[in-house]
Amino acid sequence: GVISADTSLSMPDFRAAERTFQLVAQVAGRAGRGEHAGHVVVQTNNPREPSIVLAARHDYVRFAGIELGHRAAAGLPPISRMARIVCRHEVLKEAENAAARIAKGLLAAAVALGERVVLTGPMPCPISRIGDHHRIAVELLADGRAVLQRVLGTVRVQGLLISDAHTAVDVDPLALL
C-alpha cells in the first residue's frame, strides 16, 4: 500500500508529479510477483490526480505525454536546460549578497552575449537552512545546453561564479530542495 501518495505532490519541485508516479508505479509493480495475485491500496486526497491514476494503471506513455506538455508550457526541463546555484553562509545577508552578485552577473552575461535566458531569484531555498548555513538559490533556464554553458562560462571567467564551500553550481539538477 501507499499511504498519503499525494504528499510528494506538494513538494516545491517541478518533478513532484514524476516522483509521485514513480513511487506509486514501483509499489504497484511489486504486488503480485509471487504465486498469488497482489492487491495495492493507494491512499490519496486527490483521487483524480493523473500521476496517481496513471501510475496505478502503469500507463507511463500517457503520463509522460501529459507531463511533457506541462513542462513545455512552463519552459522547464527537459524542454529547456537549467542551472541552479545555491549560496550558503552562516550569515544570511552574506548568502543573499553573494546570490545577488551572481544573479546580476548572469543577467549581464546573457545580455552581453545576446542570449535569451530566464532567471529566477535570488530566493530562499525550500530548505532555507541546513546546519548553521543559510541557503539562497538562483535558477537559470536556457533553451539549450550551449546557451547555458556560454552564460555560466562568462560569469566563471569574470570570477563571479566559483563552486566552493559557499557556492554550489548544479547543472540540470535532479532536485530543487
Q: Write out the chain's pLDDT in tens, 177 residues.
A: 788 888 888 888 899 999 999 988 888 777 666 677 677 788 888 889 999 999 988 899 999 999 999 999 999 999 999 999 999 999 999 999 999 999 999 999 999 999 999 999 999 999 999 999 999 999 999 999 999 999 999 999 998 888 888 999 999 888 888
- Gap between the Cα atoms of 83 and 138, Å rounded: 8
Cell for 111? 545580455
Cβ–Cβ under 8 Å, residues 99 and 122: yes
Residues in contact with 124: Cβ distance below 8 Å, sequence separation at least 6, in sequence order? 134, 135, 136, 137
- Gap between the Cα atoms of 24 and 27, Å rounded: 5
- Gap between the Cα atoms of 109 and 38, Å rounded: 56
- Pair type for strands 81-89 and 133-142: antiparallel
pTM, two decimals, is 0.82
